[in-house]
Chains A and B, each alone.
Chain A
Amino acid sequence: MKRQTMYFRMITSSLIRRRSRMLVALLAVAIGATILSGLVTIYYDIPRQMGEEFRSYGANLIFVPGGGDSALNADEVKKATGFIPAEDIVGIAPYRYETVKINEQPFMAAGTDLNEVKKTSPYWFVSGQWPAGSGSVLIGQEVVERIRLSPGDTFTLSGTDIGGKSFSHDFTVSGIVQTGGTEEAFIFMPLSDLEGLMGNSGVLDVVECSISATQQVLNDIAGQVGENVDDVTPRLVKRVTQSEGTVLTKLQALVYLVTVVVLLLTMICVATTMMAVVAERRREIGLKKALGAANKSIIKEFLGEGLLLGGLGGLLGVALGFAFAQTVSINVFARSISFQPLLIPATLIVSVAITGLACLLPVRSATDVDPAIVLRGE
């Protein structure tokens, strides 16, 4: 029989046949590894997850007409939006504003893609329904105060199209929008409806984009659009981008510090438990020394056990930690979390290192023990 085989047999027997004690140790390592992998996964995913939450502040990049133009060309806008990575787009809402009249009073009508608005401006509070299709509109709270309308009412919109011909069309109010901002003075309708009234299409006043990206990335996108698309001027909505950066940095710092503190304390906890488990075996160490084992081989055996435990516990921890991070993400953000494959080796290495170290400390002091302790009592 080879020496390695015997070595392996000794450490596996120690783990398998001393089930209850080793379970205690394994549990300790697994808890540590779970906390490590769980928290680190969350830490890495926070900017992404929180970043998406921050999109509830609305658009962070807008396109306005460039140069001397007074309007955006829809084709140019399409070219510009091509520079935004598709997976980062939360919503892109185009707007066209025209003056219209209700009962001879002037109002602003905004033609837009209402489905996109829902995504770019999730903070809109609509009483009633969002318009389902052509012929129904959202009206702002301020409009309501001036002409009494409530959801379900029909009203007549009149005005002059670009050709100078006057038009008049009936619309149904599907909902009333409250934002606390200027939107409350508008009438929102599907872009195609407004284009139908005005008699031309492909013209926009502003395009709001809500993009899930850092300020840096947004700057890059804006730079590219500015360089490559002549008639479109990209502008960052500073209030949103800058503030998001500030708050997100703080949040990440918070989770970072918490992670460090929790990890530190957990690792010490793991180490003390391992130390308790090993310290119990002073007699065994004494016996092995009496049998003529060199300190080196005793250390090697305990280290072997520690590494095996660390590996097993680490594996368990990786799985449990990911499950935990997933639970957190689904509960908090209602999204699944991205898995960091690098975390598997990292967790394994850390848990093996911690257990190894935790085994080594008491074993080292135990090898100083006089082998004579095994001769008589304790």
Chain B
Amino acid sequence: MFWRMVKGAFLRQKGKMLMIAFTIALGASLAAAMLNVMLDVGDKVNQELKTYGANINVLPKGASLLDDLYGVGEGSGVSDQYLKESELGNMKTIFWAHNIVDFTPYLNAKVKLAAQDSEVKLVGTWFSHHLDLPTGESLDTGMESMKSWWDVSGQWLADQDENSAMVGSLVAGRNNIQVGDTITLESGERTKKLTVKGIFNAGSDEDEQIYVPLPTAQELADRAGLVSSVEVSALTTPDNELARRAAQNPNSLSIKEQETWYCTAYVSSICYQIEEVITDAVAKPIRQVAESEGAILEKTQLLMLLITILSLVGSALGISNLVTASVMERSREIGLLKAVGARNSPITWLVLTEILITAVVGGVVGYFAGLGFAQIIGHSVFGSAIDIKPMVIPLVAVLVALVTLAGSIPSIRLLLSLRPAEVLHGR
């Protein structure tokens, strides 16, 4: 009989139940969409922040970052240190290999532009380099993807353009170099003629430099197979207390802490792991990028969290409100049931069962609609799909259940407290 009444209620109040299910579906879809987006926003924004370029700098041990400050050129001690180009692939074998988004080697050399006295800094690098890794994977990396802010007139070089160069806007301006010109570079007794394929404006010291493919620079500088630094762009977790302590001194941590640190994508642990795979290297976080990334990531996540909470509270109140409204609407029916002698608990169960069945239907539909919304947001904002987190399912389920109960129980109690006669006559 109980189920017959439930069934009857559904058939007779099709429209009303549909509306409740619809609203619950809306609420659930909102919750599912927001939770999925919120849980994935960290990764997505992290990817976006890669436009700021490298956050780790890998140098040979003992090399100075200011190689040219005191006029101490190559060969005179301090900066005569190099990394091996052949070891770079190792970076994709570390624990956090998947977090290494891009890396680019640089070989710096001093050259003379023919017919000019002053020296110009020549940099050899990968522009867009295809790398087959020992693990069998392959990787496309290089400077083009790491210097997204460069303003290039002409073209970016490709790695096979060994007889071409890109010239910084300041060098080009001083020496009247145009795209398409041929320049001659001299280093010691070696000379090379290069075609200028692009002139770039980087808005920094790089504008004073000339960029060529790595083999060209290695040939000119007579440093076959060597690079002077590597810039690495990695996805990192914002630093916390543990990471700060580890950065000061990794040995101060207990073994367990060390393990946690090693297995979290802190910039310091990624640096540590890079040092492990490249001989005589020092990996330093570029704090300007690493630190700011952390700050912005945290803010964005917190912001999304609060917006999510607002929309969850909003949809929760919305649903429970509607449920309250629809239960109150049934005062007459409940009065009648009481009048014919039904006790409180069966009436409560009857109404609750109906509403919960509606809620389940609405919740399931809503969850899938929410996934759709999340993907719309993901594709239109970040151009990639939002990762669907299974943990959202129980969250949405609990939310919907709690909210419908919270919406229906007080109103049912209210209606039960009314005397049947009052309800039936003149409301």
What is A's interface to B at a CB cutoff of 8 Å?
A: 20-21, 24-25, 27-28, 31-32, 34-35, 38-39, 42, 46, 50, 53-54, 56-58, 99, 106, 108, 121-125, 127, 142, 178-182, 184-185, 235-243, 246-247, 250-251, 253-255, 257-258, 261-262, 265-266, 268-270, 272-273, 275-277, 279-280, 324, 327-328, 331-333
Contact = CB atoms under 8 A, between A and B. Distances in A.
Contacts of B66: 108, 142, 182, 185
Contacts of B201: 238
- Chain B interface secondary structure, helix, strand, loop or mixed? helix
B272 interface: no
B314 interface: yes
A21 B317 contact: no
A113 B311 CA distance: 46
Given A54-B292, A247-B51, A273-B23, A181 B30 contact: no
B155 interface: no
Given A181-B288, A182-B65, A262 B34 contact: yes
Contacts of B148: 242-243, 246
A280 B48 contact: no
Given A53-B296, A57-B288, A238-B149, 6 more contacts: A24-B325, A25-B325, A31-B321, A35-B314, A238-B204, A239-B52
Contact of A328 (B288, B290, B295, B307): B307
B138 interface: no
A46 B300 CA distance: 10
Nearest to B377: A257
Contacts of B380: 253, 257
A35 B311 contact: yes
Contacts of B149: 238-239, 241-243
Given A254-B377, A332-B306, A262 B65 contact: no
Count chain B CB atoms within 10 A of each CB in A39, A272, A328 and give the residue with the most: A272
B64 A142 contact: yes
B391 interface: no
A339 to B, nearest CB: 18
A127 B247 CA distance: 12
- The DSSP consensus for interface residues of chain A is helix
A377 B81 CA distance: 97
Given A99-B70, A269-B27, A179 B310 contact: no
B381 A262 contact: no
A207 B135 CA distance: 48
Given A250-B382, A255-B307, A266 B315 contact: yes
Given A239-B53, A258-B307, A54 B296 contact: yes
A180 B57 contact: yes
A328 B303 contact: yes
Nearest to B244: A125
B376 interface: yes
Contact of B314 (A239, A262, A272, A279): A262
A57 B25 CA distance: 43
A168 B393 CA distance: 71
18 contacts: A21-B328, A31-B317, A31-B318, A50-B296, A124-B287, A179-B286, A180-B57, A184-B65, A235-B203, A246-B148, A258-B377, A261-B30, A261-B33, A262-B314, A276-B329, A280-B328, A327-B306, A332-B302
Give the interface size class of chain B: 35 or more
B22 interface: yes
A39 B288 contact: no
B319 interface: yes
B380 to A, nearest CB: 6
B288 A180 contact: yes
A167 B248 CA distance: 36
A32 B318 CA distance: 8
B382 A31 contact: no
Contact of B204 (A21, A237, A265, A327): A237
A269 B64 contact: no
B69 interface: yes
Contacts of A242: 51, 148-149, 203
B354 interface: no
Query: Which among A50, A243, A265, A332 has the highest number of chain B CB atoms within 10 Å?
Result: A265
A246 B48 contact: yes
Nearest to B239: A125
Contact of A181 (B69, B287, B302, B314): B287
A269 B300 contact: no
Contact of B326 (A179, A246, A276): A276
B19 interface: yes
Contacts of A273: 23, 318, 321-322, 325
Contact of B321 (A27, A56, A262, A327): A27
Contacts of A34: 314
A246 to B, nearest CB: 5
Contacts of A31: 314, 317-318, 321
A240 B45 CA distance: 16
Nearest to A27: B321
A123 B292 contact: yes
B361 interface: no
Contacts of B292: 54, 56-58, 123
Nearest to A271: B23
A179 B288 contact: yes
Contact of B318 (A28, A238, A332): A28
Interface string B296-336: 10011011101100110011011101101110110000000
Contacts of B289: 57
Contact of A265 (B29, B49, B52, B310): B29
A178 B48 contact: no
B26 interface: yes
